[in-house]
């Protein structure tokens, strides 16, 4: 047990894990999804619940997942199998890995469609498509894109090909390079945009929308969304971080590492939110516009900025990279498993996964046009199109459930001496607080939020 290497290799340096995990965490979840969910759920109160979920549930589980991966040194499915055997527990714990790999495939299918929108916007920005546009024109550009199935499928295909292209090459070539250059660029750009919107009259309004909590706008559903999104944003509950943890060398500062990843992820989301909501209020737009929000606001700002064509292009390229580095981590668990256990080459495994995800992604793309009438419903609980259904199923159910099982496994099933050693938290108080969160607070929180709809 406790191998020192996985068959897929090891990160070249301590920072590479931080970069890769941050690359996985920071993505469309921060820049596209967080602002629009905040808008739909009424603002500040949602943000507050989200931050509490990140701090009390997300971060402790982040550490637990890294710990599992580094101990198991294999794909999440095989890691969970071998750690269950080590703990003399039922092999059913392997189910965490299975559910995660499936969740990864499902998320990647709709993620790749949105990734495609972002790539399309790089192209639009480069053509000068935003210059001098009114809010109505910008909104029309986006709805035209959604109404065009060929374009959506083509952009989705391109984004997915980019993603699988890196997964095929394994963890060193591609991924490490992409995060090293692009992540700092993205943060600088967000910071630059933040400084820009601070000069606008509507900044106080955008700020208030994000940070003044009106709890009357909150209901069970939005609390579940906040919890689910904290998992989505930190890439938790489906094995992405576990898979990356498997490629990590031994080190002594796991706590610090996890803190850095969580902080960067949260900062990226908050900055994106402030930028987007200031533009919303500056232009009299609707904060609850839903998935269209980012695509209806940012182009407006770029259209007005001097040099906006260049800034807009660079910005959307950086968002593409953020989405790309996240998408890679969505595919890695399934591919790593197929290579280990099905004796497929990385190429074969990536091709099979790619075709599967592509087909599901096409269905998601068609949900915005030809198939918009097709919905999946469950009594009064929900009626959703395919795109929204996959999003809700994974974000609100599969990821929190995976997180819950991870807490129970690490907190209650694994040998506590091993957990203590692998957690690498040297300060006893720190270790005990973390264990308390993993054993009690996180599972109770997840259960309460998830079961709540049943009692309403």
Q: Which residues of the shown chain bind ligand PHE in the complex (CB under 6 A)?
A: 24-25, 27-30, 107, 232-233, 235, 238, 240, 326, 329-330
Q: Shortest approach of ligand PHE to residue 4 CB, angstroms?
A: 26
Pair 70, 246: CB distance under 8 Å: yes
Identity of the residue, 293 or 309, whose beta carbon is nearer to ligand PHE in the bound complex? 293
Report the residue number, 34 or 130, with the smaller CB distance to ligand PHE. 34
Of 276 and 435, which CB lies nearer to ligand PHE in the complex structure?
276
Q: E strands along 341-451, which residues?
A: 376-378, 382-384
- Least distance CB 40 / ligand PHE (angstroms): 17
Residues 261 and 272: their CA atoms lie apart, in Å, by 17
Q: How far is the CB of 67 from ligand PHE (least distance, A)?
A: 17
- The contacts of residue 211 (CB under 8 Å, 6+ apart) are 44, 47
Find the shortest distance in angstroms from Cβ 31 to ligand PHE.
8
**CB–CB of 14/249 below 8 Å?**
yes
CB of 234: closest distance to ligand PHE in angstroms?
6
* Kind and range of the H or E run holding 196: helix 177-198
- Cβ closest to ligand PHE, residue 233 vs residue 297: 233
For the CB of residue 377, give the shortest distance to ligand PHE in the complex, in Å: 25
What is the nearest approach in angstroms of ligand PHE to the Cβ of residue 330? 5
Tokens linked to 264: 């960067």
Q: Are 103 and 399 in contact (CB under 8 A)?
A: yes
Taking every pair of Cα atoms in the chain, the longest distance, rounded to a whole number of angstroms, is 65
Token pair of 416, please? 């506590």
Smallest gap from Cβ 323 to ligand PHE, in A, equals: 7
Strand pairing partners for 376?
Answer: 384
The dihedral formed by the CA atoms of 58, 198, 189 and 48, expressed in degrees to the nearest 10 = 10
- Beta strands 382-384 and 376-378 are antiparallel
The SS3 call for residue 177 is: helix
When CB distances to ligand PHE are compared, the closest residue is 29
Quick check: 97 and 337 in contact, CB under 8 A? Answer: yes
**Which CB atom, from 96 or from 285, has the smaller least distance to ligand PHE?**
96
Total residue length of the chain: 456
Nearer to ligand PHE, 25 or 66 (CB): 25
Distance in Å, CB of 325 to ligand PHE, minimum:
9
Angle between helix 308-341 and 14-25 (nearest 10): 110
Please, which residue, 106 or 300, has the CB nearer to ligand PHE?
A: 106
Return the number of the residue (28 or 113) whose C-beta is nearest ligand PHE. 28
Q: Which tokens in the block code for residue 238?
A: 């489906």
Closest approach, Cβ 233 to ligand PHE, in A, equals 5
Nearer to ligand PHE, 322 or 419 (CB): 322
Under 8 Å between Cβ of 320 and 123: no
DSSP three-state, residue 234:
coil
List the beta bridge partners of residue 384. 376
Which CB atom, from 275 or from 425, has the smaller least distance to ligand PHE?
275
């Amino acid at each position: 047990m406790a191998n020192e290497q996985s068959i897929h290799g090891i990160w070249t340096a301590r920072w590479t894990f931080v970069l890769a995990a941050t690359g996985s965490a920071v993505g469309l979840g921060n820049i596209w999804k967080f602002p629009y969910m905040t808008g739909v759920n009424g603002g500040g109160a949602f943000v507050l619940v989200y931050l509490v979920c990140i701090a009390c549930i997300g971060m402790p589980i982040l550490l637990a997942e890294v710990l599992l991966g580094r101990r198991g040194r294999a794909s999440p499915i095989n890691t969970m199998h071998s750690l269950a055997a080590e703990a003399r527990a039922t092999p059913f714990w392997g189910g965490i890995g299975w559910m995660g790999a499936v969740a990864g495939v499902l998320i990647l299918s709709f993620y790749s469609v949105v990734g495609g929108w972002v790539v399309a916007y790089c192209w639009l920005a480069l053509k000068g498509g935003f210059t001098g546009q009114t809010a109505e024109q910008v909104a029309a550009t986006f709805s035209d894109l959604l109404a065009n199935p060929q374009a959506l499928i083509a952009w989705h295909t391109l984004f997915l090909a980019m993603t699988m292209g890196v997964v095929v090459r394994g963890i060193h070539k591609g991924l490490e390079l992409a995060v090293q250059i692009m992540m700092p660029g993205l943060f600088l750009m967000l910071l630059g945009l933040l400084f820009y919107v601070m000069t606008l009259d509507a900044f106080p309004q955008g700020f208030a929308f994000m940070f003044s909590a009106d709890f009357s706008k909150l209901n069970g559903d939005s609390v579940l969304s906040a919890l689910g999104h904290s998992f989505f944003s930190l890439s938790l509950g489906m094995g992405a971080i576990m898979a990356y943890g498997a490629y990590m060398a031994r080190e002594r500062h796991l706590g610090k590492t996890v803190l850095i990843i969580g902080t960067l992820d949260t900062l990226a989301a908050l900055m994106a939110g402030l930028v987007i909501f200031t533009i919303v209020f500056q232009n009299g737009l609707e904060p609850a516009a839903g998935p269209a929000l980012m695509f209806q606001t940012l182009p407006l700002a770029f259209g007005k900025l001097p040099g906006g064509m260049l800034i807009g292009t660079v910005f959307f390229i950086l968002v593409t990279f953020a989405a790309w580095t996240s998408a890679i981590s969505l595919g890695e668990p399934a591919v790593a498993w197929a290579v280990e256990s099905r004796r497929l080459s990385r190429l074969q495994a990536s091709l099979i996964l790619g075709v599967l995800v592509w087909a599901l992604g096409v269905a998601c793309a068609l949900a915005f046009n030809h198939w918009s009438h097709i919905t999946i419903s469950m009594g009064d609980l929900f009626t959703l199109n395919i795109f929204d259904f996959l999003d809700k199923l994974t974000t609100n159910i599969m990821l929190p459930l995976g997180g819950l099982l991870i807490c129970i496994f690490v907190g209650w099933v694994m040998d506590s001496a091993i957990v203590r050693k692998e957690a690498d938290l040297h300060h006893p108080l720190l270790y005990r607080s973390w264990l308390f969160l993993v054993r009690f607070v996180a599972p109770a929180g997840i259960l309460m939020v998830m079961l709540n709809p049943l009692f309403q």
